[in-house]
Structure 1
Amino acid sequence: MEKNYKTEETSMRKSAFWPSLALAIGLYAATAQSESLYEGFTTPADEARPMVRWWWFGPNVDDAELVREIKAMKQGGFGGFELATLYPLTVDGNVPYLSDRHIEAVRLANETARTEGLRVDITLGSGWPFGGPHITPELASSRVKLIKLPLPARTTSVSLPDLNPGERIVASFIGTDAQTAELVEPATKDVAVCATPDERTVFIVLQTPTGQQVKRASVGGEGYVLDHMNPASVNAHLSTVGDRLMTAFSAGPPYAVFSDSLEAYGTDWTGDMLSEFQKRRGYDLKPHLLKWFEDAPDSAAIRRDWGLTLAELVEERYLTPVNDWAKTKGTRFRSQTYGHPPVRLSSVRLTDLAEGEGADWRIFSRLRWISSANHLYGKPVTSAEAWTWLHQGAFQAAPIDIKSEADTLMLQGANQFIAHGWPYSPPEAGEPGWAMYAAAVFNDHNPWWIVMPDINLYLQRMSWLLRQGEPVADVAIYLPQDDALGASKPGNVSIDGQLGRRISRTLTAQILDAGFSFDYVDDQALSAPGFRHKVLILPKVTSINPQTFKQIEAFEKAGGAVIAVDQAPTGARVFNTIPESDLSAKLVTLTTPDVIGLTPEVGFVHRKLNDSDLYFVANTGNRAVTLPLKFRAGSSGQWWNPIDATAHIWGGEPVTLAPYESRLFVFGAADKAGPAKRTPPQRRPLDGGWSIAFGDQPAKPLATFGSWTDDPAKAHYSGIVTYSRTVKLTPADLAAGLTRLSFGEGTPESIPSDRRTGSQAWLSAPVRDAAEVFVNGKRAGAVWTSPFFIDLKPHLTAGNNRIEIRVANTAINTLSGQPPANYSALTAKYGERFTPQNMNNLKPLPSGLMQAPVLETAP
C-alpha cells in the first residue's frame, strides 16, 4: 500500500523521534510514490539522520557542557545520540556508574534531547559485554575445562581439586586415554576406583567462570561479564542496571536500548547445559564430554549439537527476554546479534532493531549478516556501527574517509548510521579535547566540523532513499551452520566467527563481479517470508541437516537454482556442483545480471519501488573509472547526484566515476531530470590574485598554493584558513555555464597490503580536508569529497564576484605539536583500561588548497 510521504513525514517530525513503533515501521516500509521520491531525496525525513555514539568518560560530566554538546549535535545534522559510559579519563571528579549523580546527568541529557527534537538511545550497561559488580562468579559467563590427574598403578582413590566460587565438577572419567576413558560419578572430595596394575588418568570436566571482565568499564561498572544463557544472570542485569537506568527517563523512554556485539569470549557452557542438551538433542551429553576436548570420529557431530544448544539458549534466555523487557519500558531493543556465545542469523528476528558493522564489502561481513536477516524477516532499517577504527588514530580521519566507508556500508545494506563517535570533552581538557581510544572524532573540536552538516545531509539522504521499496537480490548464500558449529573448539564457539573461512573473498567476488546482489540465509530463514531469491549457493558445505536439505529440494522444485561450490554436501543430491572459479559464468546462465559493466571497485544496491527502480552505484576505489553500465531495469533514465541532489538525464552512455564517487540511477515514473544542455567545454584557471588569512588574522597575499604546513611557523596549525579573490564574469561567461569551481582530482596513494583493521580513503586530496565556499558573502556550499567541485551558478552574477574558500584541516597538526598524553596517574588509580591507538610520533598532515582552483563548464 502506497503512502503519502509528506503527510507521514509531518506526523513523524511532530513526534520528535518518539513515534509509535507501528508508525515508524509504516514509514520505513512504505514504497514512496513516484511524485514524492525525489522530494524525499532532496529533503529527507528527520528519522533518517545519522546518530552518534556519545561517550561519557568516568562518568565525569558537567551539566552545562552536556547541554552545549547536545545543541552542537543538532547543529551538525545529527538526529540524536546513543549514550555510552566508558573508562575514566580523569583521576578526580568521577562518580560511580548508576549513582544518583550519574542518573541525574542521564535525565538532563534525555530532557534536553527531547526539547531539541533528537532521538536518545542508551547502552544497557557500561563498557561491553554486559556485566558488572552485580554479576557474581555463579552468574558469570562460564566454560568447561579439562583437568588431567595422574592415577598411579594400584591406586584406589584420587583427590579432586578444590573448587573456587562459580566452579563445579560436571563429570569425571578414568582410563588410559581420552578415547577409552569411562565415566565415573565423583564424590565431593575424591573418586573411589578399582586398583589396577596399570597407570591411568582421571579426566575431570570442570565448569568454571571464564574470568572475563567488562571491557572499558566506567568507575563502578567493573565486574564479570554475565552468562547470556543463564536466566538468573540476565534478570540480575536487567533489574540492577536496566531498571535503574530507566529511572532517568521520566520525561519519556529512550527510543532504544543497545547491546554491542556479543564478545563473551571463552564461553561454551552454562549451569543446566546437560539437562537442556538432553531435552533438545534427545541424548545424554555427559558420556561424550571428552569429545569436546579431544578429537574423535563423532566429535564434529557432538560439537555441532553442543553449539546449536548454546545458540538456542541465547535466543530464549537473552535476546527474547531483553527484547520483552524493553517493550515493558516503552522502548526497543537494538542489538548487534553476532559473536560469542553463538547466535544464528535467524536469531536477528528476535530483536526490534538490528545493527551490524564491518567496512569490507567483499568478504564475509557481520553487517551483511544483519541486513540479510532484516531483508528475510521484513525489517526495513539496518543500522551500522560506522567508522570504528576509521583512519586509525583519533582525529586522523577526514570527511572523504567518512564518505568512502559510508558507501561500503550502504553496499552491504546499511540505511542508518551510528557514528563512532562523539567523545564528551570538557573545556578544561583543552583542544582538541578528549578522544575514545579506538575511534574517529565527530564532534565540534575537529576543524572540519564546518562541513559536518553537509556530510550528514548526504548520509541522511541516502539512508532515507535506501529504505524505500524493497531490496532486490537474486542470489542467496546458504550459511553452513552445521559445519561452523562442528568446527568449534573449547572456549571458541561462534557461527559467524567461522564463516569467514568458508565464504571466501573469491566466492563473494564471483557473485558481485557477475552483476548480482546477494543475501545470506540459514536453515531457519529458508522459510522466512523474504526468501524469494532465484539462486541458492552452497559454499563448500560438507554437512547439512536432512530437514534443511528437504527445504532446499523444495526450493529447487519450485523453480529455484541450487549451486554447490567445489563439493556437494555428504549424502545430498545437488544437480549443479562447480568449482568456485566458475561461479560467475554459471550464474549468468541461470538469470540475467542486474548490472553489467562493473569493476571490482564498483558496487551497487538495487531497490524496487511500485513504479520505479532505484540503483545506488559507488566507486570504492581511489582511481577514476569509466564504465559501460547496463541496468536490468532500463537502458535509459536519469542519474541523481547524492551530494547536491541534482537530477540529470542518462541515455545509456558510459559513466565516469571519480575516486570514491557515488551516484543514483533511476528508472520509471520517478524520473525528475530535465533535458541536458550541452555547451562547449571552457576552463579558466584562477592562479593569481588570491589572499590568505589564518583564523582571525589579517589577510595577506598568497604566494603559492600548497600545504600550509610547508611553512614551519604554520606546521602545527589546526583550524580554518580563508582563501579569497575577486572573479569578474561577463553575461556570456554565465550563459556558457562557466560556473563550476573545480579544485582538481587528487592523487591516488599506495594501499598497503598488510593494512590493519579499519578503513580510509587512499587519496591525496586537492582540498585538505574540507572547504566552505562563499560567493558575495553567501554560502554556496561545501567541498569535502570527490569529485572536488561545486557549481556556483545560483550565486554568480555578471561583473565582480567575491569568492571566499574557507578551508579546515584535521586536529592532528595541533596534536603533533603537543607532548603525548600521560596516563600514568590514571593507570595507577584505575588500572590500564585502554591503550591509545596510533597516537605516538604524530606528524603534521598536509593542509589547505593543494593547487589553484579552476572555473569550468560542466561536461
Structure 2
Amino acid sequence: MKKQLALSLLLSAALPPLAARAQAPAWPAISQQNRPWTRWWWEGSAVNPQDLTHLMTQYQQAGLGGMEITAIYGVKGAESQFIDFLSPKWMDMLTHTLTEGKRLNLGVDVAQASGWPFGGPWVTPADACKYVTYQTYTVKGGAQLADKVSFTQKPIATAIGHRVDIKELADPVATNKNMQALALEQVRFEKPLPLQALMAYPATGAAIDLTSKVDANGKLNWTAPAGTWTLYAIFQGWHGKQVERAGPGGEGDVIDHLSKTATEHYLQRFDQAFKGRDVKGVRAFFNDSYEVDDAQGEANWTPLMFSEFQRRRGYDLRQHLPGLFAKASADENARVLTDYRETISELLLENYTQAWATWAHGYGVKIRNQAHGSPANILDLYAATDIPETEGENLTRIKFASSAAHVTGKPLTSAETATWENDHFLSTLSDVKKAVDRMLLGGVNHIFYHGTAYSPQAAAWPGWLFYAAVEFNPQNPFWQDFGQLNRYAAHCQSFMQAGQPANDVLLYLPQYDAYQRPGNKALLQHFDGIEHGFKGLPIEATSELLLKQGYGYDFISDKQVQQVQASGSGLRTSGGAQYRTVLVPAARTMPLPTWQHLVQLAQAGATIVVQGALPTDVPGLGNLASRQAAFKKLVAQLQFKPVAGGQRATVGKGAFLLGDDVQQLLTQAGVQRETLVDNGLQCERRRTAGGHTYFLANWSDKAVTAWVPLATAAKSAALYDPMSEQLGQAALRQSAGGRAEVYVQLAPGASCLIDTKEAAAPASAAYAYQRSAGAPQPVAGPWAVRFVSGGPTLPAPLQVAQLDSWTKLAGEAGQKFAGTATYSTTFAMPTGSADGYLLDLGRVGQSARVQLNGQELGTLIGPAYQVYLPKNQLKASNTLAISVSNGMANRVADMDRQHQEWKLFYNVNMAAKLKENRGADGLFTAAQWSPVASGLLGPVTLTPTALGGPLPQ
C-alpha cells in the first residue's frame, strides 16, 4: 500500500550511530488517561447497580477512559428512586461504580458538591458566603449620633423557572421541603446584620474605633470631639447564594470560600460519608467553577477580613474605609482596592484551594479545579491544583489553565469540552472534533466531554438529558461512531501527555493593573481569561498577537515569576519548564519583589522583554514610600541604548529589551516564531527526548499541501494521522534559511501529529503521501437504502438513483427519523494504473462507516469524508456499503410538534441556548425546526491516486 519516498527527502546523507538514531514511527499504547473522559451526571442520584454496570460497559466499549460523577437535579417521575447525596445508599452506589471502574479500566473522579459551587444543607449560616455593606453618618463636634447604628438586610428570593415568595420559605433555607421543586437560586431573609466596625473619621488625621461604644440596641454612646466627623459602619451580610443545579441532599447555602474554617467544616461531611469506606478508586475530586457571584451582590467578605488584611498588607483597613468604598482620593482608592482584592485572592487560594487540596491528598486523591471566574489571580489558583481545568472557546482563555500547569510542572490540563457548541441536538461529531482540537491547541491534554447523563434502560427515548450539553449518550445516534472520535482524541493525547511544554515566552500577567481598576459599583473583579478582568489592557492585544504570529507562550503570575531561575541565557520555572524570555506587556504597576527578581534574572544571563514602557510604580498602600524608592532606584540603574526594534540595557550577563515592536524585540531575545501559521495552520508543541512533538490543525477552508517550516531543529520526522491511523517517516528537508521543513497534506478541518528528532531516523516505511492521478469519477449508483436502527420507526427500504437527504427521500417517516441507514451500491473496477482511489462521500449528515467488499475501511466524522481505497482491495465488481448516522434533532423536533413530553427535569428543564428556540413556556423547543439534512448526500466520487513519488519543491 505504501511506497518508500526517496531517501534524499527523508534522511541526511550521513546517519549517526545507531544509539543516537530516532525510532521507527509507532503509535503509543493508549492508556486510560489518554482516552477522553466525560462528565457523568447522576440526575437525582437515581442510580442502581444494574444500570450503572450496563452504562459503564457501553462507555468503555465506546472508548472513554473515565467519568466524573456529578450528582445534580432529578427527573420528574423518578422521585422514588432519588438518593440523597452522600447518604449511605449514595456511597453504596459510588462503591459499586469504583469496583466496576476497576474491572472495566475506567477512571472515576467525583465532583465534591451536588451541583456547584461547594455548598449544601450542612453549611451553617456561620460558614455560608458573606457580603459587606456599609452606612455613613455625619456628627458634628459636641453632638451625639441620633440614628441607630444598624442595617436590616433586604429580602431576596429567586428561583429557576418560577417565582418564589420568601414569606413561604423557612429559615435556614435547607430546612424547606421539596427543595428540588423549589430550585432556589438565592435567598436572603430580612434580618438585622451584625456590626463589624464603626470608625469615625475626622477632617484630617487617624480614624477612631467606636465599635465597642455601640450597645445591643444600636445606640452609639459617644460625643464627637470638635470638628465634623464622618462615621463608617461596616455590616456583614449573608449573600444567600444557593448551590446551582443541586440534587437531592445537596441543596443549600454555598460556603464562604474565604474561610478556612468554613472549608474544613464543609469537608468534614465527606469525612463522615467516607468513614469505613474504601474510596481509593477515586482519582480526583472536582470543583465545577466558582460561580458564587452570578447572583445579586457579591460574596466579598469573611468574618476575619480585618485581621487577615492587617496581617497580609501591613496596615489597618479600618483606617482606610473611604478608600475601600471609593470615597478618598483617586490614588488612595486604587491602592486600597488593590490591597483588598489581593487579600481576597490570597484567602481564596489558601483557605479554599490549598486547604481543599491538603484534605484530598490525605485520601491519596488529586483535585481537579475550574478556577476561572474567581475573584483572584487564577494562575495561582490553577497552580495549586493537581489537574487545572478550563472550558470555553477562546484560546487565550484556555491557556490560563495550561499555562499554570506548564509553569508549575503539572502533567495534565483538563477541559470541560463541547459544553454549548450549538443548541440542543444540533452538534455533530465533526463539531466536537473541532472543540477537541481547540483544547489541544490551547495546551489541554485531558479532555472531559460535557457530557453524559446517566439514563436507565427503562427510560423512554430520548432518555435522561442535561440542560447544557451535546448529549454524549448511547441514545444519541452518533454514538454509533462516537468511538472514532474517542480513538482520535486518545491518539492525540497519548502524544500531548508525554514530554514537556515547549513554549518560548513567559507572558507576564499584569494582575495589579487589573486589581486597581474600579468595578461597576463592585469591590471584586472576577477573572476569566483575558476577556473578563484584563480586557482593554495591553496584554489583550499582545496575547492575541503572539497567537496569530505563531509564538509559543504561557502566562505567568507574580508569584510564579519570583520562582523562575536563570538557566544559561534562558529561564527555568519551578516546574522545570524551559523558556527563552519573560515578556512584560506594558504593565504600569508591578510589585517590588517581582521587579527585583526580573533584574536578578537579567544579571544571571536572562533577557527580559518589556513592551511599550517600563512599569512606573508599585501597587498597594502599605509601606509605600520605601517600596517606591527601592523600585525607582532599580529602574534608574537601567541604561538603555538603541537596537533594532527598540532599546537595550545590559544588566550583568543579561539584558532588558524595551520597545513597541514585540516581534522585533522577541527576535532580539532569540525567540523564533512558528511561521507555519502563515499557511493557515495552528499548532501546539511539546518537548520530547531528542526532539519535539507538534499537534497541527488546519482550520482554514482550504486544503494545505505544502512544505511546512518548523522553528525547532530536526533531522528526521515521523508523521501521524490520528484519525485514519496512517503513519510513516515524513518527508523532511532543510530550507535555505536553515529551518527544517516537513511536507504535510491536511484537508480543511484535518489535523496531524509530527514527531521530530534532532537525530536522523533509521530506514523505515515512509508516510504514504497521496497525489491525484486523474479526474474524479462518479459512483453513480443506484443505491439501496436500508434503515437499520433508530426511531421512532424504521422507514421503508429505498432504491434511489439520486442521493439526497433521507428527510426528502423517505417521506414523513424519514423526516422524524434519528438513527442509522446503510447505503449500498456496486461499481466496476476503475480503469487506469493508479495505486488506489480516494473515495470522497461529498456531503454527509452526519457520520459514516465505510465497507468495501465486506471489509471495514474506516469511520468518517468530517468535516472531510474521504478514505483511501487500495487498488489491491478492488475486484472486477465491488460492493460499497456506507452506514450513515444522523443526530437526535429531527426526532426531537417531531416530538415537540406532537407535544410529546420529554422535558421531565427539575431545576433547569432544558433551557435554550438561542432565544429563537425558546417556546412560550420559556423552555427549549425544536417544534419550528426544518428537518436537518440526514444521510448520504453526495456526490460520491473516486479519484485515481498515486502514493509517494516526487514532491513539489
TM interval, short-chain normalised: 0.7 to 0.9
Question: Which residue pairs with 1:433 in the alignment?
Answer: 463
Question: Which residue pairs with 1:272 in the alignment?
Answer: 304
Question: Which one is further off, 189-198 or 503-512?
Answer: 189-198
Question: Which residue pairs with 1:7 in the alignment?
Answer: none
Q: Gaps spanning 5+ residues in structure 1: where?
A: 1-31, 745-765
Question: Which residue pairs with 2:52 in the alignment?
Answer: 66
Counting only pairs closer than 5 Å after superposition, residues 511-530 of structure 1 correspond to structure 2 as 511-526=546-561, 527=563, 528-529=573-574, 530=576
On the 8 A contact 1:124/1:130 being kept in 2, the answer is yes
TM-score, normalized by length of structure 1? Answer: 0.85
| Other structure's SS at 1:818 match | helix
1:703, distance to aligned residue in structure 2 (A):
2.9
Q: Which amino acid in structure 1 is aligned with residue 891 of structure 2?
A: T
Q: Which amino acid in structure 2 is aligned with residue 685 of structure 1?
A: P
TM-score, normalized by length of structure 2? Answer: 0.77
Counting only pairs closer than 5 Å after superposition, residues 265-304 of structure 1 correspond to structure 2 as 265=293, 266-295=298-327, 296=329, 297-304=331-338
Counting only pairs closer than 5 Å after superposition, residues 577-656 of structure 1 correspond to structure 2 as 582-599=661-678, 602-625=681-704, 629-632=708-711, 633-634=713-714, 637-648=717-728, 649-651=730-732, 652=741, 655=744
CA distance in 2: counterparts of 1:567 and 1:814, whole angstroms: 60
1:331, distance to aligned residue in structure 2 (A):
1.8
| Other structure's SS at 2:578 match | coil
Question: Which one is further off, 534-543 or 174-183?
Answer: 174-183
Q: 1:775 to 1:313 in 2, by over 3 A?
A: same
Task: Please point out which of 846, 851, 858 is paired with 2:933.
Answer: 846
Question: Which one is further off, 125-134 or 182-191?
Answer: 182-191
1:120, distance to aligned residue in structure 2 (A):
0.8
| Other structure's SS at 2:220 match | strand
Question: Which residue pairs with 1:463 in the alignment?
Answer: 493
On the 8 A contact 2:117/2:288 being kept in 1, the answer is yes
Q: Which amino acid in structure 1 is aligned with residue 766 of structure 2?
A: G
Counting only pairs closer than 5 Å after superposition, residues 364-403 of structure 1 correspond to structure 2 as 364-365=396-397, 367-391=398-422, 393-403=423-433
1:441, distance to aligned residue in structure 2 (A):
1.0
Task: Please point out which of 806, 819, 824 is paired with 1:708.
Answer: 806
Question: Which residue pairs with 1:748 in the alignment?
Answer: none
On the 8 A contact 1:104/1:248 being kept in 2, the answer is no
Q: Which amino acid in structure 1 is aligned with residue 826 of structure 2?
A: T
Counting matched residue pairs gives: 797
Question: Which residue pairs with 2:860 in the alignment?
Answer: 783
- Structure 1 vs Structure 2: percent identity of aligned residues? 27
Task: Please point out which of 246, 249, 253 is paired with 2:281.
Answer: 253
| Other structure's SS at 1:563 match | strand
Task: Please point out which of 763, 766, 769 is paired with 1:674.
Answer: 766
On the 8 A contact 1:253/1:329 being kept in 2, the answer is no
Task: Please point out which of 356, 381, 398 is paired with 2:390.
Answer: 356
Counting only pairs closer than 5 Å after superposition, residues 676-691 of structure 1 correspond to structure 2 as 681-682=773-774, 683-691=776-784
On the 8 A contact 2:36/2:449 being kept in 1, the answer is yes
CA distance in 1: counterparts of 2:548 and 2:130, whole angstroms: 44
On the 8 A contact 2:445/2:496 being kept in 1, the answer is yes
On the 8 A contact 1:770/1:809 being kept in 2, the answer is yes
On the 8 A contact 2:26/2:727 being kept in 1, the answer is no
Kindly indicate whether residue 607 of structure 2 is the aligned counterpart of residue 552 of structure 1: no
On the 8 A contact 1:146/1:293 being kept in 2, the answer is no
Question: Which residue pairs with 1:233 in the alignment?
Answer: 262
Q: Which amino acid in structure 2 is aligned with residue 726 of structure 1?
A: T
CA distance in 2: counterparts of 1:68 and 1:688, whole angstroms: 40
Counting only pairs closer than 5 Å after superposition, residues 71-90 of structure 1 correspond to structure 2 as 71-90=57-76
CA distance in 1: counterparts of 2:21 and 2:368, whole angstroms: 31
On the 8 A contact 1:178/1:294 being kept in 2, the answer is no
Task: Please point out which of 87, 106, 114 is paired with 1:126.
Answer: 114
On the 8 A contact 1:38/1:670 being kept in 2, the answer is no
On the 8 A contact 2:509/2:539 being kept in 1, the answer is no
Q: Which amino acid in structure 2 is aligned with residue 661 of structure 1?
A: A
Q: 1:170 to 1:525 in 2, by over 3 A?
A: same
Kindly indicate whether residue 126 of structure 2 is the aligned counterpart of residue 138 of structure 1: yes
Task: Please point out which of 217, 224, 232 is paired with 2:246.
Answer: 217
Higher Rg of the two aligned structures:
2
RMSD over aligned Cα atoms? 3.3
On the 8 A contact 2:391/2:415 being kept in 1, the answer is yes
Question: Which residue pairs with 1:747 in the alignment?
Answer: none
1:552, distance to aligned residue in structure 2 (A):
1.4
Task: Please point out which of 130, 135, 149 is paired with 1:160.
Answer: 149
| Other structure's SS at 2:147 match | strand
- For residues 707-759 of structure 1, what are the alpha-carbon distances to aligned partners after superposition, in whole Å with 9 as ceiling and x for unaligned? 222345222211111111123327x76x6223321123xxxxxxxxxxxxxxx
Question: Which one is further off, 149-158 or 510-519?
Answer: 149-158
Q: 1:681 to 1:385 in 2, by over 3 A?
A: same
Q: Gaps spanning 5+ residues in structure 2: where?
A: 1-18, 154-190, 564-572, 618-631, 641-645, 648-656, 733-740, 789-793, 915-923, 947-953
| Other structure's SS at 1:850 match | strand
1:121, distance to aligned residue in structure 2 (A):
0.7
- For residues 95-122 of structure 1, what are the alpha-carbon distances to aligned partners after superposition, in whole Å with 9 as ceiling and x for unaligned? 3222333222222222222221111111
Q: 1:849 to 1:620 in 2, by over 3 A?
A: same
On the 8 A contact 1:708/1:848 being kept in 2, the answer is yes
Question: Which residue pairs with 1:662 in the alignment?
Answer: 751
| Other structure's SS at 1:44 match | coil
Kindly indicate whether residue 87 of structure 2 is the aligned counterpart of residue 99 of structure 1: yes
Task: Please point out which of 96, 120, 132 is paired with 1:108.
Answer: 96
Q: 1:418 to 1:500 in 2, by over 3 A?
A: farther
- For residues 455-476 of structure 1, what are the alpha-carbon distances to aligned partners after superposition, in whole Å with 9 as ceiling and x for unaligned? 0011111111012222211111
Q: Which amino acid in structure 2 is aligned with residue 232 of structure 1?
A: T
| Other structure's SS at 2:836 match | coil
1:179, distance to aligned residue in structure 2 (A):
12
On the 8 A contact 1:394/1:435 being kept in 2, the answer is no
| Other structure's SS at 1:444 match | coil
Task: Please point out which of 612, 617, 635 is paired with 1:566.
Answer: 612
CA distance in 1: counterparts of 2:151 and 2:481, whole angstroms: 62
Counting only pairs closer than 5 Å after superposition, residues 34-53 of structure 1 correspond to structure 2 as 38-41=25-28, 43-53=29-39
Q: 1:780 to 1:643 in 2, by over 3 A?
A: same
Question: Which one is further off, 719-728 or 794-803?
Answer: 794-803
Question: Which residue pairs with 1:450 in the alignment?
Answer: 480
Q: Which amino acid in structure 1 is aligned with residue 777 of structure 2?
A: R
Q: 1:150 to 1:721 in 2, by over 3 A?
A: farther
On the 8 A contact 2:258/2:344 being kept in 1, the answer is yes
1:656, distance to aligned residue in structure 2 (A):
5.0
